[in-house]
Amino acid sequence: MTTTQDKPQRLFTVAEVAEQLRVSPWTVYRRAADGSLPSLRVGQAGPLRFTADAVETLLQPARTTTEENPR
């Protein structure tokens, strides 16, 4: 049986996440620092990377609010 954990997830860069969220890269760094956007480091002091699940989790409250209050 194959689970989703067996399948490697794509990792996104700070720039890619910023573009998806339509925010500045510094906002992505701040979210990672305060823990609201879980991140991984590539290597000991390498660049930050983000899983698709982490980005989706951050987007979820915004989508719920939009669905409840359509314009």
Given a cut of 90, whether residue 66 has pLDDT beyond it is: no
20 confidence band (pLDDT: 50, 70, 90): very high
pLDDT of 1: 47
Summarize the confidence of residues 20-25 as an average pLDDT. Answer: 94
Question: Which overall architecture, per CATH, does domain 11-68 show?
Answer: Orthogonal Bundle (1.10)
Domain coordinates in residue numbering, the chain: 11-68
Specify burial of residue 51 (Cβ count, 10 A radius: 0-12, 13-18, 19+): middle
Burial 1-32 (b: 16+ CB within 10 A, else e): eeeeeeeeeebbebebbbebbeeeeeebbebb
Global pTM reads 0.71
Over residues 31-45, the pLDDT tens digits come to 999 999 999 998 888
CA atoms within 13 A on the CB side of 3: 1
